[in-house]
Amino acid sequence: MTSAPENSQNRADALPKSWDPSAVEEALYQGWVDAGYFEADPASDKPGYSIVLPPPNVTGSLHMGHALDHTLMDALTRRKRMQGYEVLWLPGMDHAGIATQTVVEKQLAADGKTKEDLGRERFIEKVWDWKRESGGTIQGQMRRIGDGVDWSRDRFTMDDGLSRAVQTIFKRMYDDGLIYRAERLVNWSPVL
């Protein structure tokens, strides 16, 4: 019986005692992003498949519910890619207006200030600062868990074009009688 020639590649002690995914995941993921693996080509002849990420609120961090949703969407998009589809997994974040305002007001209160002390314009600047900080945290988390989203199409609900589109759709739904304003306790109709 002959043994394999001695070299560092086939010695048991050349392998780490335990797997450390953090040593390779970031560079591997960035390589996929840089190579455009997650970017959908609108001119492709392949059948299309898309998922719009239900946008997480910009008010904090991803939680276990997000992790579950992202895992399911990741499995679906990877499977469709393997089946030959042109896949778009569209990322984005929601402004969560009232919740975001509350977070910023609490930060100001910790410094003994109110939004009125700042005035409207400076308060809005603080809100946008918070969005950039918190949004960066959420994007970092999405990258760390390996979400195969098309980062070139990342959206925020307050982006100019998107915000106008939302207003247009709500106006159309109102005009068509699908949504209405009334003094009610319930603001979501199970009839829709």
Query: One digit per residue, pLDDT tens: the chain, 192 residues?
Result: 566 566 656 666 677 788 888 889 999 999 999 999 999 999 999 999 999 988 777 777 888 988 999 999 999 999 999 999 999 999 988 776 777 788 888 988 998 998 889 888 898 888 888 877 776 788 889 999 999 999 999 887 777 777 788 789 989 999 999 988 887 776 565 655
Tell me the CATH number at 164.
Answer: 3.40.50.620
Nearest C-alpha neighbor of 129 from the set 163, 100, 161, 162: 100
Domain range for residue 88? 48-96+133-173
Q: Is residue 22 part of a domain?
A: no
Q: How many CA atoms lie within 13 A of 80 on its CB side?
A: 20
Largest CA distance in the chain: 87
Nearest C-alpha neighbor of 156 from the set 107, 97, 68, 105: 97
Question: How many domains in the chain?
Answer: 1
Q: Is residue 10 part of a domain?
A: no
Q: What is the distance between the alpha carbons of residues 179 and 192, in angstroms, rounded to a whole number?
A: 9
